[in-house]
């Protein structure tokens, strides 16, 4: 088995969700779930099929985000994995909806941070072992850091 690390390529301001599913209809179901939850969100989805023709299936309502999802899914080439790129919304707006899609098995991460994916290649297939989401911790928050965090959450409208 060979271990590799795949860096996800995306603009800094674009958020993504990386997960695992189990069925070819994942792309359509995720598309419908996002549109029904946050209609104004721009997004692109790609899903790595792991049997039959083993194609990367894609959908979305934004051509650039859909192309970005396809490019990164091909770089991963990990069976039954999916990646969603989004703008005009945040993962928190759709994450529970995504997790509730019946064929979704799990979520590896939801982030706007730099993202690296640890991939195992058996020669027959590839799978995601884990992710490196962002950078390592620089220390513990101070009282002023707590105040800044609370202010940011209120700015985004997540707290009153």
Residue 121 in any domain: the answer is yes
Residue 77 in any domain: the answer is yes
Residue 73 in any domain: the answer is yes
Residue 158: predicted pLDDT: 81
Residue 148 in any domain: the answer is yes
Residue 61 in any domain: the answer is yes
Give me the domain span that covers residue 130: 2-155
DSSP result, the chain:
-EEEEEEPP--TT-EEEEEEE-STTHHHHHHHHHHHH-TT-EEEEEEE--STT-PEEEEES-HHHHHHHHHHHHHH--TTEEEEEEESS-HHHHHHHHHHSTTEEEEEEEESS-EEEEEEE-SS-EEEEEEEES--------HHHHHHHHHHHHHTTS--
Residue 132: predicted pLDDT: 97
Q: Which mean pLDDT values do the consecutive 10-residue runs of the chain (160 residues) have?
A: 97 97 93 97 96 95 98 97 96 96 97 98 96 95 94 86
The CATH number linked to 30 is 3.40.1520.10
Tally of domains within the chain: 1
pTM for the whole structure? 0.92
Residue 160 in any domain: the answer is no
Residue 131 in any domain: the answer is yes
Contact 6, 75 (CB under 8 A): yes
Cα-Cα-Cα-Cα dihedral of 143, 95, 39, 63, to 10°?
A: 100
Residue 72 in any domain: the answer is yes
């Amino acid at each position: 088995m060979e271990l590799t690390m795949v860096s996800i390529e995306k603009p800094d301001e674009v958020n993504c969700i990386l997960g695992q599913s189990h069925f070819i209809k994942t792309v359509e179901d995720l598309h419908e779930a996002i549109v029904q939850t946050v209609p104004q969100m721009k997004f692109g989805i790609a899903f790595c099929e792991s049997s039959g023709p083993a194609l990367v299936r894609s959908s979305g309502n934004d051509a650039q985000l859909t192309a970005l999802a396809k490019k990164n899914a091909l770089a991963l080439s990990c069976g039954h994995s999916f990646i969603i790129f989004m703008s005009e919304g945040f993962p928190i707006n759709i994450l529970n909806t995504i997790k509730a899609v019946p064929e979704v098995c799990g979520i590896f991460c939801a982030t706007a941070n730099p993202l690296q994916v640890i991939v195992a290649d058996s020669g027959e297939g590839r799978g995601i072992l884990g992710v490196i989401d962002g950078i390592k911790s620089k220390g513990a928050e101070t009282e002023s850091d707590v105040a800044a965090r609370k202010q940011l959450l209120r700015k985004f409208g997540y707290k009153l």
